[in-house]
Amino acid sequence: MVTNVDKNLVIGIDIGGTGTKIGLVDARGEILARDEGIATTAYSTFDGFVDAMSEVIERLLTATDSHGKVRGIGVGAPDSNYYTGNIEHAFNLPWKGVLPLADMLSKRCNIPVYVTNDANAAAIGEMTYGTAKGMKNFIVITLGTGVGSGIVINGQVVYGNDGFAGELGHVTMVRGDNGRLCGCGRRGCLEAYCSATGVARTAKEIIEQMNEPGLLSNIKNITARDVYNAAMNGDKTALEIFNFTGNMLGEAIADFIAFSSPQAIILFGGLTRAGDLLLEPIKKSVDKNVLHTYKGKVQILISQLKDSDAAILGASALAWE
C-alpha cells in the first residue's frame, strides 16, 4: 500500500498564453522529467487541452516509473483562483468564461490539483526551493510581458477575500490623463511602465526626448532585449531607460513596503536578466522614497531559480503545501 509518506514527488504545470510546460519534481526542486511540447493555442476546447495535459502526465509517470508517487499537481495559470481551482475569464487564453481546471484535471489523473496565478506560484517556488527559503514575509514581483506579484505574509500566500489578491502590476503610478493606457483598460498602471513591453514603450519615449545618436537609434520595434544589449555596451540612452524603469519600480516598492513591511522584495522574470542595470536604480529609488521607519531594513533581491525551470518549480511547489 502506498501512503502519503511515499508520495515524494509533485508535478508542476505552467500554463502560458502560448505554451504549456509540465515537469515532474522532487522535494529538492530537481526536475526529474519534463515536457514543454503543449501549444496552448492548439486546442479549440478546454476539454481537449485538459486531455492533452493528462496524456503528458501519464507519459512522464510511465517514463520515470512514478505512478502512485505523486502527492499533487500544482498549476500556475493566468486569472486562476486558488480557492475555487477555476481559471476565470482569462484574457490571454483561448477559452472564455469560468474553466474548472482543478476539478477536471484531478478527475483525469486521480491526483489532487491546486491552482494559482503564476506570480503566486513564483512566490511559493521561492519559499520552497529559492531565495526566500526560511522567509515569512516577502513579496515576489514578476517582471515579464506583464507585472505581477505574489505576496507572502506570516509564511502564507495572500489570496484575499476572493482569491485574486496581489495585483501589484495595477497600482497607479501616474495619475490622470497623462498615465499610459494599460492592457487592463485603466491608465498609469505600474505594468504599463515596468513590464518588458512597458520598457519598450519607455524606450520609444526616451529616444525621442534625448534625440541622441546611439545604438538604439535605428532599431524599429525596439524590445526590452535591444535596450539591454545597448545598455551592456554603455549606450547612454539605454542606461537612461533602465534608470527610468528602476526609479519607478523603486517608488512602487517603497509603497508596497509601507503595506506589509517585508523582509525582502524578490524580483523574478525575464526583465531581471538585466541584473544590476535594473537592480541598482531600484535600490537607489527605494532608499530615496521609503518611509524612514523601513529604511535599510528590506532586501531587494533577484530570484536565483533557473529561468527555464522557475515557472514549473513555482507551480510544483503549490502541491507540497
160 lines the binding site for a second copy (CB under 8 A): yes
291 lines the binding site for a second copy (CB under 8 A): yes
As to burial, measured by CB atoms within 10 angstroms (0-12 exposed, 13-18 middle, 19+ buried), residue 305 is: buried
Please identify which residue in 4, 134, 185, 221 interacts with a second copy, judged by CB under 8 A: 185
Q: Which of 202, 194, 206 is nearest to 253 (CA)?
A: 194
Please identify which residue in 94, 180, 263, 320 interacts with a second copy, judged by CB under 8 A: 263
Please identify which residue in 26, 103, 255, 321 interacts with a second copy, judged by CB under 8 A: 255
**Backbone dihedral angles phi then psi of residue 32, each to the nearest 5 degrees:** -80, -30
Q: How far apart are CA 118 and CA 120, in angstroms?
A: 6
Q: Whole-angstrom distance between the N-terminal and C-terminal Cα of the chain?
A: 23
Shortest Cβ distance from residue 186 to a second copy (Å)?
Answer: 7
56 lines the binding site for a second copy (CB under 8 A): no
249 lines the binding site for a second copy (CB under 8 A): no
Bridge partners of 80?
A: 87
| In contact, 135 and 127? CB cutoff 8 Å | yes
Q: How far apart are CA 157 and CA 52, in angstroms?
A: 29
Piece of the chain touching a second copy by CB under 8 A; list 151-159, 230-238, 269-277, 300-308: 151-159
The CA angle 166-172-173, to the nearest 5 degrees, is 120
96 lines the binding site for a second copy (CB under 8 A): no
Would you call 177 helix, strand, or coil by DSSP? coil
110 lines the binding site for a second copy (CB under 8 A): no
Site size toward a second copy, by CB under 8 A: 43
Q: How far apart are CA 301 and CA 201, in angstroms?
A: 25
97 lines the binding site for a second copy (CB under 8 A): no
136 lines the binding site for a second copy (CB under 8 A): yes
154 lines the binding site for a second copy (CB under 8 A): yes
Contact set with a second copy (CB under 8 A): 136-137, 151, 153-154, 156, 158-168, 170-175, 184-186, 251, 254-256, 258-263, 289, 291-294, 297-298
